[in-house]
Structure 1
Amino acid sequence: MTPGVAAPIAELSDRELLALHVAGDDHAFAELFRRHKDRMWAVALRTVRDPELAADCVQDGFIAAFRRAESFRGEAAVTTWLHRIVVNACLDRLRRRKPTTELPEYDLADRHDHYASTEVRLDIQEALAKLPEGQRAALVLVDMHAVPVAEAAVILGVAEGTIKSRCARGRAALAQHLGLTPGQRPAEHD
């Protein structure tokens, strides 16, 4: 690149875009949104299970990120920061809904063949509904989205050990709700 000539906005890093946004650039945040909206929507959809509610959560999250961009301290990746904001927007929306809010339908069939039947997935969804919010959020990120424990800790604003214990307790509670002993797989319904 020639000195003194600015790089096209699409070539800038997420951090550079966020810094430009904070400095008043009118296009930088739009590029961040374009890059990450689909991934954030996927996380929101898995968390709230309703496409319209997921879209609202993504909108809430990106508006919050737009307004609070100067609060980004650079201690984590911009995508981790955005994940945290969007997950928090999802949790806020779920808290405000009726207690009968359905949980996401987790497609565990992709990871484990023994979860392939609809009945088993519904049993698992029902069991997930019984978990405390913190355990459910940790399991969604770590087990459903394969987010590393360290990144999930940043997203949820807790220590790595807390994520590990929430996942372990959540998995144990799921097994108990499903009537399984440790290591046992759910049987397919006929």
Structure 2
Amino acid sequence: MTGSLGPDDVSDADLLRAHVDGDTDAFGTLFARHRDRLWAVALRTMGNPDDAADGLQDGLVAAYRRAGSFRGEAAVTTWLHRVVVNACLDRIRASRSRRAEPLPDDLEEYERRGSLVSAAPVSEDPAEVAVRGDRRDAVLAALATLPDEQRAALVLVDMEGYPVSEVAEMLDCAVGTVKSRCSRGRARLAVLLGVPAPEGERGHPPDGNPDPTPSVRSTDAPRAPPAAG
């Protein structure tokens, strides 16, 4: 990138274009800008930090190599999320047997890195902290049992808070399909977690997009994702 503009003054599209044109720093700048949310999506989709790091790296390698195919029909960040989610789903499909493995013992270390339940304040009752930890583990385990497409939709809509229309672009499907996947996923998680299903999602889920179950929603943001490479 040339001129007096700093990295924050250059748009995502310009960074991607600069990368395609041979700027060796542009892609790293682009990734650093969106690293936190891409890591959170990878972690929640894969279910554990090791697999998430592999999925994220696969996605970044794919984005790096396919940057020239970007046509600007969606936002760059939408395209990046699509590539990373697809890379994660490809890994899941290639190693389905991992779903039966126990959750890793070091999940507590990653509680502030895009976990499914927000970290509790230091002053909170230790008993409540333990309950939160148990609930987080239960959500991770339940999420891992969902069909790949439902899991991806729930991660992006309910956990990352993206609009359904944008998630439809990320997953390359219709808006109604995203709504249906979320609705079915919420109903299934409600059964697995032993909580009441959201109103209207018991039995045959509608195409609406009601609020997710309280045990599934999370608004925390990742703090320190691993460096790519």
TM-score tier after normalising by the smaller chain length:
0.7 to 0.9
**Cα shift readout 1:37-60 (whole Å, capped 9, x = no counterpart):** 232112211211322322222221
**Structure 1 residue 154 corresponds to structure 2 residue 169:** yes
Are the aligned partners of 1:178 and 1:186 in contact in 2 as well (CA < 8 Å)? no
Give the match for residue 180 of structure 2. Answer: 165
What letter corresponds to residue 28 of structure 1 in structure 2?
A
Give the match for residue 44 of structure 1. Answer: 42
**Cα shift readout 1:17-66 (whole Å, capped 9, x = no counterpart):** 11112222222222112222232112211211322322222221111111
Structure of greater relative contact order (alpha carbons < 8 Å, 6+ residues apart): 2
Deviation at 1:129, TM superposition (A): 3.0
Give the match for residue 74 of structure 1. Answer: 72
Query: In structure 2, what is the Cα distance between the partners aligned to 1:131 and 1:73?
Result: 32
- Normalized against structure 1, the TM-score is what? 0.79
Give the match for residue 8 of structure 1. Answer: 5
Gap regions ≥5 residues in structure 1:
none
**Cα shift readout 1:127-173 (whole Å, capped 9, x = no counterpart):** 32332111111111111111111111111111111000111111122
Alignment coverage as a number of residue pairs? 180
Give the match for residue 86 of structure 1. Answer: 84
**Cα shift readout 1:95-154 (whole Å, capped 9, x = no counterpart):** 2224233689852467xx9xx544444444343233211111111111111111111111
What letter corresponds to residue 148 of structure 1 in structure 2?
P
What letter corresponds to residue 152 of structure 1 in structure 2?
V
What letter corresponds to residue 17 of structure 1 in structure 2?
L
What letter corresponds to residue 80 of structure 1 in structure 2?
T
Query: In structure 1, what is the Cα distance between the partners aligned to 2:83 and 2:195?
Result: 35
What letter corresponds to residue 74 of structure 1 in structure 2?
G
- Normalized against structure 2, the TM-score is what? 0.67
Are the aligned partners of 1:61 and 1:86 in contact in 2 as well (CA < 8 Å)? yes
Are the aligned partners of 1:43 and 1:87 in contact in 2 as well (CA < 8 Å)? yes
Instruction: Write 1 or 2 for the structure with the bigger share of helix.
Output: 1
**Structure 1 residue 17 corresponds to structure 2 residue 15:** yes
Using a 3 Å threshold, how does the CA distance of structure 1 residues 129 and 17 change in structure 2: closer, same or farther? closer
**Structure 1 residue 143 corresponds to structure 2 residue 152:** no
Identical counterparts, % of pairs: 55
Are the aligned partners of 1:37 and 1:58 in contact in 2 as well (CA < 8 Å)? no
Deviation at 1:179, TM superposition (A): 4.6
What letter corresponds to residue 192 of structure 2 in structure 1?
H
Deviation at 1:180, TM superposition (A): 4.5
Larger Rg: 1
Using a 3 Å threshold, how does the CA distance of structure 1 residues 66 and 125 change in structure 2: closer, same or farther? closer
Of 139, 149, 174, which aligns to 1:134? 149
CA RMSD, aligned part only? 3.0
Gap regions ≥5 residues in structure 2:
108-114, 120-127, 200-212, 216-229
Deviation at 1:183, TM superposition (A): 4.3
